[in-house]
Structure 1
Amino acid sequence: MSRTVTLALVDSAGTPLGALPSFGVPEPWWQEVGSIVDGARRRYGVEVSVLRLLTADRAAPPGGCVSYLAEVGAPPRVPLAPVTVDLAPQPRRAPWAQPGGPARSLAWAKRELDRLGRPVTGVNQQRSWNLSAIWRLDGPQGSAWLKQVPAFFRHEAAVLRWLATATPDLAPTLLAADDTGRILLDHIPGDDRYAADQAERAAIAADQHTVQRRAIGDADALVAAGVPDLRGPTLARWIRDRLAGHDTSVVADLLADLDARMDRVRACGLPDTLVHGDLHPGNVRGDGRSRTIIDWGDAFVGHPAFDILELTEGLDEIDTAPLVAAWAARWRAERPDSDPERAVDLLRPVAALRLAAVYAMFLANIEPSEHPYHRDDVPACLERAAGLA
């Protein structure tokens, strides 16, 4: 599967210029823009910054015919087709999705790297969508990554600062951060471990246990630093608040019992701690010798079982059982009177319900043209929660 891409161009002031001829790119995932930037350069000699999604010929990713707004520094020399684009301001538009936004973020990153003695000689845009914008910055002293996120993910910098002192071998190196959601990270060798086998998943679970054991005593400090507090009854309120306005009839009984269920979870005796919030193997980077857990924007303080539930999502029972058993054994060694397996069973439908609330939060805080990325996720997660309850 691939994409056919059309770029509607604007200059740095936001003046519309026209559209480049459509062209194909190999990756089907709409948020991946590295091949779009490369294709515009190779085919038309145009340097673009992809700003945001405009239209698609299907309701949701991946693939299809997709159009984007892209910024250029000067009008290109190739003929452009007339195009109509809604350029009206949108209050939920991300800073990097606006003309001039990428340039401002890159200027900040280059200043920070210059301060660290790491001048930038090359920039490659990798991703642009409602949850993040990502660029790779190369130089003689190595590569760094600029990531910019919306307000609901800005606590990632606080988590990374804590990890740098608590478990530095398992965390990305934070080079700089500001108060607008920009973070600058050192390059991590290896690749994203989407294809992790059972042994590697087991190692990831053990790594995260190290993080969570260390974070138990720092839970209040992490909350004070801005990490969301989703402990016990707070999580139940948070879920209800974010799902307000969505059709939750399929999980009506689960929602009605949620406070009592969270009381039963607390009775299982496990401590609240730092939760990654999206601990699938693709959020781990490794080279065969070491592993680094990345993308901490979904992190919160809450129950540790949420991470083992995410790490085993999609596996069959034969593969899930030993991972959960090893996770439970580690926690039982820490808390001999606890019942980790019961906590996992109680939280299994809550994990899907929490994800529905997360996607609802995304939809409430991003501009409407970006809704296709997440629109189907809320009902899908609610259906899954109902099936697990």
Structure 2
Amino acid sequence: MSRTVTLVLVDADGRPLGALPPYDVPEPWWQEVGSIVDEARSRYGVDVAVLRLLTGDRPEPPGGHVAYLGQVTGPPAVPLTPATVDLTPHPLRAPYAEPGGPARSVAWATGELRRVGRAVTAVAQQRTWNLSAIWRLDGPGGSAWLKQVPPFFRHEAAVLRWLGAAAPTTAPTLLAADDTGRTLLDHVPGEDRYGADEAERAAVAADHHTVQLRAVEAADTLVAAGVPDLRGPALAGWIRDRLAPHDPTVVADLLAGLDDRLDRVRDCGLPDTLVHGDLHPGNVRGDGTRRTVIDWGDAFVGHPAFDILRLTETLAPPVAGRLREAWAARWRADVPGSDPQRAVELLRPVAELRLAAVYAMFLAGIEPSEHPYHHGDVPACLARAAAAT
């Protein structure tokens, strides 16, 4: 599966110029823009910064015919097709989705690298969507990654800062951060481990247990640094607030026993700690000698069982059962008298409710043109929560 792309161009001042002829790119996922930039350069000699999604001919990714807004420094030599595009400002538009935004962010990152003695010789835009914009910066001193996120993910820098001091090498090294959601990260060697087998997932779970044990005593410190506090009753209130705009009948039924269920979870005796929030193998990079957990924007302080549920959710029941039992055995050894397995079973539907609330938060915090990225996520999570209850 691939995508057909129409790139509507504006100049440095945001004035519309027209559209390049449609062309195909290999990756079907709408947020991946590296090949869009490369093909525009190789086909038409145009250097472009992709700003944001405009439209797609499908209700949600992947594939199809997708239009994006891109910025160039001046009119390209290739003839452009007239294009109608709504350039009205939107209060939820990300800074990196505005003309000039990518250039400002790259200039910040280049300056930060120069400050630590690392020259930048090449910059490549990799991704842009409602959850992040990402660029790779290369130079003689190695590669670094510029990541810029919306307000609901800005606590990632605080998490990385704490991990860098308390559990070095378990997460990307934070080189710099500012108060606009920009982080500059050192390169992590290896590949994203989407296809991780049982043994590799077991190793990830064991590594993560060590991190979570260290974070138990740091829970208040992390919350004070801006990491969301979803401990105990706070989680129920957080879920209710974010799901309030959605199907009231379905939501009311699913939330009816939430407080009682969380009380029973608390009786299982496990401590609150740092939770990654999206611990699937694609958020782990490995090079054969080490594993590094990336993308901590979903992190919060809460119950550790949420991460083992995410790590095992797509596995066959016998495999998932073995990994969860190993996880439970570690917690029983470190917290005598606790009942981790019961906590996992009680939190299974809550994990889906929390994910539904996360997607609802995304939808509430992004402009409508970006909604297709999460078109079916809230109802899908609510349906899984109902099935797990």
Tell me whether the two structures share a fold, i.e. TM-score over 0.5.
Answer: yes
TM-score grouping bracket, smaller chain normalisation? over 0.9
**Which consecutive residues of structure 1, in runs of 5 or more, have no partner in the other structure?**
none
Aligned to 1:130: 130
Aligned to 2:183: 183
SS of 1:107's partner is helix
Structure 2: how far apart are the matches of 1:285 and 1:52? 27
User: Letter of the aligned partner of 2:288 in structure 1?
Assistant: G
Aligned to 2:197: 197
1:214 Cα offset (Å): 0.3
User: Letter of the aligned partner of 1:56 in structure 2?
Assistant: G
User: Letter of the aligned partner of 1:53 in structure 2?
Assistant: L
Structure 1: how far apart are the matches of 2:381 and 2:367? 21
1:251 Cα offset (Å): 4.5
Structure 2: how far apart are the matches of 1:238 and 1:248? 16
Number of residue equivalences: 389
SS of 2:315's partner is coil
Do the aligned residues in 2 keep the contact of 1:192 with 1:284 (CA within 8 Å)? Answer: yes
Asked whether 1:101 is paired with 2:137, we answer: no
Aligned to 2:142: 142
Aligned to 1:386: 386
Normalising by structure 1, we get a TM-score of 0.99
Q: Percent identity?
A: 76
Asked whether 1:67 is paired with 2:40, we answer: no
Aligned to 1:239: 239
Structure 2: how far apart are the matches of 1:77 and 1:207? 53
User: Letter of the aligned partner of 1:79 in structure 2?
Assistant: P
SS of 1:96's partner is helix
Aligned to 1:325: 325
Structure 2: how far apart are the matches of 1:209 and 1:124? 35
**Which consecutive residues of structure 2, in runs of 5 or more, have no partner in the other structure?**
none
Structure 2: how far apart are the matches of 1:249 and 1:325? 36
Regions of 4+ moved over 4 Å: none
1:375 Cα offset (Å): 2.1
Structure 1: how far apart are the matches of 2:286 and 2:316? 24
1:336 Cα offset (Å): 1.2
1:254 Cα offset (Å): 3.0
1:15-64, CA deviations, whole angstroms, 9 ceiling, x for partnerless residues? 00000000000000000000000000000000000000000000000000
Aligned to 1:268: 268
Aligned to 2:164: 164
User: Letter of the aligned partner of 1:259 in structure 2?
Assistant: D
Aligned to 2:338: 338
Do the aligned residues in 2 keep the contact of 1:48 with 1:70 (CA within 8 Å)? Answer: yes
1:269-323, CA deviations, whole angstroms, 9 ceiling, x for partnerless residues? 0000000000000000110110000000000000000000000011110110110
1:122-179, CA deviations, whole angstroms, 9 ceiling, x for partnerless residues? 0000000000000000001100000000000000000000001111021110000000
Structure 1: how far apart are the matches of 2:170 and 2:140? 25
Structure 1: how far apart are the matches of 2:317 and 2:15? 55
Normalising by structure 2, we get a TM-score of 0.99
Asked whether 1:314 is paired with 2:314, we answer: yes
Do the aligned residues in 1 keep the contact of 2:273 with 2:303 (CA within 8 Å)? Answer: yes
Structure 2: how far apart are the matches of 1:160 and 1:78? 44
Do the aligned residues in 1 keep the contact of 2:243 with 2:251 (CA within 8 Å)? Answer: no
1:248 Cα offset (Å): 4.4
RMSD, aligned α-carbons: 0.6
User: Letter of the aligned partner of 1:145 in structure 2?
Assistant: W
Do the aligned residues in 2 keep the contact of 1:251 with 1:385 (CA within 8 Å)? Answer: no
Structure 1: how far apart are the matches of 2:248 and 2:335? 36
Structure 2: how far apart are the matches of 1:151 and 1:321? 36
